[in-house]
Amino acid sequence: MIILIGIIIYILYKDYLRDKEKAATAQPSATDKLVACATTPDTKRLTQVRIFIVSVYVIIFGWLYFAWYRLYPKSNFHWFDDRGEWNQVDKAGHMYGAYFETVWAYELLRWSGMDNKKAAFTAAFIGLEFESTIELWDGFSTKWGASWSDLMANAVGASLALVQYLLWEEQRIMCKFSYNGNEYKYPTPELRERADDLFGKTFFEKVLKDYNNITLWLSINPSKFFPGTTPDWGCIAIGYGGENMLGGYENKWIDAAGKPHDRSDLKRYRTLKFSLDADLPRLRPNDPTGRAAFKALNIIKMPFPSYKVRL
């Protein structure tokens, strides 16, 4: 989160310098012209968007296959019911993934000059396709299986973005993500070893899988519903997460040495968090470059204090 704040401060500072420069010349910068959406369909831009999306898809899932799936035994395609795992925090993650992939795809398609309705439906398909490819590979892996509940969560996330674009041509209720590796600690060697085995040891692995420190948020901007009632950028955020989860269903496991562990004394919780947030593009409403950068960052919740309830 410190890195995110630093990036935002840097962008605001650069925008401040750019504003001074534009005020002196009264001309938009070359970058502003580049990021501005085309007012009519631009074939060249649309081709660039297609190439970019396909390239990202191939790179991400090619890397995922060679770095992960090819290391595990294969089987015939099959389904696996994991709807009760991890107190559904992983389902919230699937919803979030499909949502932000839809939002990013939509912004690229609008940049190419595609109209709102067509861009919304196309982006929702792209978001659903990106997130659901994982289920295809899971379905052919002996260790896992395709999950219908994951597919449903993907559909909910993509639909949340789609419906808002069709209604308002903008996102008023946003899915966001936060990770705080210092909030839930693993205080004993036993728990740290289990967490490393489940969630990985690197920061990147933990951001993706440490369900005890991941929070998925719905961030609502009241001013988009009731103009003038709150600052343009101010949001109310409701987050969902979990605590004390040392296994998909229960806190019992057998380690690599064959030793059984039973930590059923640690009660597994669902958590609700209530906080404030910032709708970042609203901080730069008249600056195309700053607004475009903040749109890309607007899938991450700003680190305001929060109130937590354990369920």
| 307 and 221 assigned to the same domain | yes
Q: Are residues 272 and 290 in the same domain?
A: yes
Query: Which of 171, 194, 216 corresponds to the end of one domain?
Result: 171
- CA–chain centroid gap for 188, Å, is 31
Give the β-pairing of 306-310 and 269-278: antiparallel
Confidence of residue 13 (pLDDT cuts 50, 70, 90): low
Backbone angles phi, psi at 112, to 5 degrees: -80, -5
* 29 within some domain: no
Q: Mark whether 115 and 142 lie in a shared domain.
A: yes
Q: What is the pLDDT of residues 108-130, one digit of tens each?
A: 999 999 999 999 999 999 999 99
For residues 89 and 211, the answer to whether their CB atoms sit within 8 Å is yes
Which of the four pLDDT bands, split at 50, 70 and 90, describes residue 33? Answer: confident
pLDDT tens digits, 173-193: 999 999 998 788 899 999 999
- pLDDT of 12 reads 62
Asked if residue 63 lies in contact with residue 131, where contact means CB atoms within 8 angstroms, the answer is no
How many domains is the chain partitioned into structurally? 2
Classified as helix, coil or strand, 174 is strand
The rounded distance, in Å, linking the Cα atoms of 281 and 194 is: 40
pLDDT of residue 287 exceeding 90, the answer is no
Q: Find the radius of gyration of the CA atoms of the chain.
A: 21
Q: First vs last Cα of the chain: how many Å apart? A: 26
74 and 114 in one domain? yes
118 with 220, same domain: the answer is no
Domain residue limits at 69: 42-171
Does residue 212 contact residue 89 with C-beta atoms inside 8 Å?
no
From residue 303, alpha-carbon distances to 206, 208, 277 in Å are 18, 18, 8
226 and 181 in one domain? yes
Same structural domain for residues 124 and 190? no
State what percent of residues in the chain have pLDDT above 90: 76
Pairing of strands 173-179, 214-220: antiparallel
218 class by beta-carbon count within 10 Å (0-12 exposed, 13-18 middle, 19+ buried) = buried
- The answer to the question of residue 36 being in a domain is no
Side chain identity, residue 49: V
Q: What is the pTM of this model?
A: 0.90
Mark whether 240 and 185 lie in a shared domain: yes
